Amino acid sequence: MAQNLELKLKLASHKEIRKTLRSIKAEFKGILRQKDIYYKTSGMLLKLRTVNGKHELIKYRRDESGADRWSDYELLFLEGENVETYFNDFFETECIVEKSRELWLYKDTRIHLDDVKYLGLFLELETVVKEDRRKAKELFDVIVSLLSLNLNDQILSSYKLLFLNK
């Protein structure tokens, strides 16, 4: 199972973060139009994500109680014309979250500038564990510092829970 270290913050604007990303030479990878269909499950999160017309099933577990948000996840890439309706035969939909995401890369960290329908603007960081957690945490701390982020402001829940609790 793959693993990453995550952070989510609510923002009033993406402007300053975008400016800093350019100054540190983060690589802009494009705009992603995402639709996440969250299914009712126990003990994990399961969502079908449509990204610019392509589909992936994402299963993940994350402990929201610690200071750091480590996530274990698996991706399954899917093809077909009726992927959404196919899964509706097996799973009960809990909610659907739609967003526009600017994807930036800085070393092993994915930086997401999200505009989430009905929820607003967010920043997400996902530092991928390549060798070990210690090295991933070091890189994570570097990008947090470069972006001048306050970890006390982080949101310790998924978009699914934010959407369901709005």
The CATH fold of domain 2-164: Hypothetical Protein Pfu-838710-001 (2.40.320)
Which pLDDT score is estimated for 44?
A: 87
The pLDDT tens digits of the residues spanning 63-110 come to 777 778 899 999 999 998 889 888 888 899 999 999 999 999 999 999
Which pLDDT score is estimated for 42?
A: 86
Query: Which of 46, 62, 44, 55 shows the shortest CA–CA distance to 78?
Result: 55
Which pLDDT score is estimated for 129?
A: 95
Q: How far apart are CA 139 and CA 155, in angstroms?
A: 20
pTM value?
0.93
Residues 6+ apart with CB under 8 A from 146: 20, 24, 106
